[in-house]
A = this chain, B = another copy of it.
Amino acid sequence: MNHYTVTGFSSIPTFAYGLVRDLRVRWALKEAGLPYDVELVDPAIRKSDAFRQKQPFGMVPAFAADGLELFESGAILHLLAEKSEALMPAAESHRAWTMVWMYAALNTVEPPIDLLLSIDLQHSGEEWAMLRRPAVVETVLDRLAVLARQLDDRDFLVDRFTAADILMATVLRLIRHTELVASQPAVDAYLKRCEARPAFEKALAEQLEEYANTIRAAA
């Protein structure tokens, strides 16, 4: 029996509710039916030496699997996917394509989407952000058009639900404040399909409940 612990933040700014990346790990664990503990860290100490021992970049998630301290949501999902066929099919070609789309989500689709989130929610009104936004939107639309083609005749990126969909859906959620995903009906339907999964709904409710608990405890 493996013992897993997911580390998240005890509180976050409102704009980031439902966007913090430990959600990916909780969702994956619930899809795989693997129980886990949660450890919450005050974001005020995220740059401390003690926390950097756990997560050197001072971010979440961190993850412990039987005492092995790990980080990077992509790597954690990949390791879990190796343990559960619910997250990665066993057939060689489908396994390879799952890996292709996991890396595509994080290395090709997330960077421009994360930049747009930053422009709109952290740097709104700044001169550089206003000047740069149109080109970033254009790149995001180009990525969404590729996803629309991939999803034209598929419910998920690789025929059936995989860890790649957890990564891609949580990437697409980063621009929920825009109409960009809605502008591509196949991608919009895909995101709704992912978000309707019971494992996603439970993981999100759990994460949000913890932030609410922190607020109640401080009141």
Measured CB to CB, the residues of A under 8 A from B are: 52, 56-57, 59, 65, 68, 70-75, 78-79, 92-93, 96-97, 99-100, 102-104, 106-108, 110-111, 114-115, 126-129, 131-132, 143, 146, 149-150
Contact = CB atoms under 8 A, between A and B. Distances in A.
A61 B48 CA distance: 39
B110 A57 contact: no
A110 B107 contact: yes
A57 B96 contact: no
Protomer copies: 2
A155 B85 CA distance: 36
Contacts of A131: 126-128, 131
9 contacts: A56-B146, A56-B149, A57-B108, A70-B97, A72-B99, A72-B100, A75-B104, A107-B107, A115-B115
Contacts of A70: 96-97, 100
B100 A103 contact: no
Contacts of A96: 65, 68, 70, 75, 79
A93 B68 contact: yes
Lowest 7 CB-CB distances: which A-B pairs, in order? A74-B103, A128-B131, A72-B103, A75-B103, A128-B128, A128-B132, A75-B99
Most chain B beta-carbon neighbours within 10 Å: one of A68, A74, A149:
A74
